[in-house]
Amino acid sequence: MTDETGQHVWDTRRHWDEQLSAWFDQSAPARWAAAEPYWGIWDIPQSQLPVLPADVDGAVAVELGCGSAYVSAWLARRGARPVALDISARQLATARRMQKEFGLRFPLIQGDAERVPLTDACADLVISEYGASVWCDPFRWIPQAARLLRPGGRLVFMGASTLARLCIAERGPVTDRLVHDLFGLRQVVRRGSSGNEYRLFTLPHGEWIRLLAGCGLVVEDLIEVRVPPGAVNNDFPEYPDEWVRRWPAEEVWFARRQP
């Protein structure tokens, strides 16, 4: 394809449809059934890591890169009106199955978070947990998120920390050495166990701030996540326990659309 869509979008779609969806199929029921939202690789509960705003009742929320749409399900139970978008047809099939199983209904859209098929100023909240926040080019998806937000609306996104990206090579776990340059950092290439290549995006913190500001968004907070004592990571060996006890592997950004 030779349109304006970056090749990484099609690579990501194929990667999720062919490689990762089986794992999400298995984890989706437990996440949909959770009494309290929990976040990130270490499943930190909302009470310890307040990612969702305190009051979302009645808010229109757009989830970019929803996967099995469990974040949208959590929002719906809190009174929000979510719209969930993902590039992967297989992931959305899982989300539809979960909707039927749990009796929740909200729109599911197959689409690219870098070119969202929704109208301007349609949302009070745009959120991404390891969706667009890591799989999409920030210089494309952040302007889309800003476009979707009404004045005063919030953007919340979570992903691997910039430091973690700097310390991880194409294969293997994070190390105590910097393996990528900070200047010019935009994406890192990873290779799976089968040798498949995929790209994960991030920016230096200063670049994040300037990009958000340039899109009319004001940064209100940044949480560099500290893993709580006793939290266990069973699924992501690239983040060894001894590393995350010293440095943040994840971060959460909070920004607001200017009036």
Q: Full-prediction pTM beyond 0.85?
A: yes
Instruction: Report which secondary-structure segment, H or E, holds 138.
Output: helix 138-148
**For the segment 136-195, what is each residue's pLDDT rounded down to a tens digit?**
999 999 999 999 999 999 999 999 999 999 999 999 999 999 999 999 999 998 887 666
Radius of gyration of the chain (CA): 17
Task: Tell me how far apart the alpha carbons of residues 108 and 92 are, in angstroms, rounded to a whole number.
Answer: 7
Environment class of residue 180 by beta-carbon count within 10 Å: exposed (0-12), middle (13-18) or buried (19+)? middle
Residue 49: the pLDDT is: 97
pLDDT exceeds 90 at position 8: no
Indicate the pLDDT class of residue 29, thresholds 50, 70 and 90. very high
Share of the chain above pLDDT 90, in %: 81
Residue 17: the pLDDT is: 61
Q: How many residues does the chain have?
A: 259
> Can you tell me the mean pLDDT for 225-242?
91
**C-alpha dist (Å) from residue 23 to 14, 43, 68, 179, 210:** 15, 16, 11, 29, 36
**For the segment 116-134, what is each residue's pLDDT rounded down to a tens digit?**
999 999 999 999 999 999 9
Mean pLDDT of the chain, nearest integer: 91
Residue 1: the pLDDT is: 27
Indicate the pLDDT class of residue 5, thresholds 50, 70 and 90. low
To the nearest 10 degrees (0 to 180), the angle between helices 89-102 and 70-77 is 30
Task: Tell me how far apart the alpha carbons of residues 119 and 105 are, in angstroms, rounded to a whole number.
Answer: 21
DSSP 136: S
